[in-house]
Amino acid sequence: MADNARAKRLADLIRQVVAQKLQRGIKDPRLGSHVTITDTRVTGDLREATVFYTVYGDEEERKAAAAGLESAKGILRSEVGRAAGVKFTPTLTFVADALPDTARTIEDLLDKARQSDQKVREAATGAAYAGEADPYRKPSEDDTTETDGDAAE
Percent of the chain with pLDDT over 90: 21
Residue 45 has pLDDT above 70, yes or no: yes
Q: What is the pLDDT of residue 110?
A: 93
Long-range contacts of 18-24 (CB under 8 A, 24+ apart): 18/51, 18/76, 18/79, 18/80, 18/92, 21/75, 21/76, 21/79, 22/72, 22/76
Mean pLDDT confidence for 131-138: 74
Q: What is the pLDDT of residue 104?
A: 85
Give the integer Cα–Cα distance in Å for 99 and 54: 8
Q: What is the pLDDT of residue 102?
A: 83
Q: By three-state DSSP, how is residue 63 classified?
A: helix
Q: What is the pLDDT of residue 49?
A: 92
Residue 90 has pLDDT above 70, yes or no: yes
| 89 or 100, which is more confident | 89
Q: By three-state DSSP, how is residue 79 classified?
A: helix
The radius of gyration of the chain from alpha carbons, rounded to an integer in Å, stands at: 31
Strands (E), 3-137: 35-42, 48-55, 91-96
pTM across the whole model: 0.66
Q: What is the pLDDT of residue 57?
A: 79
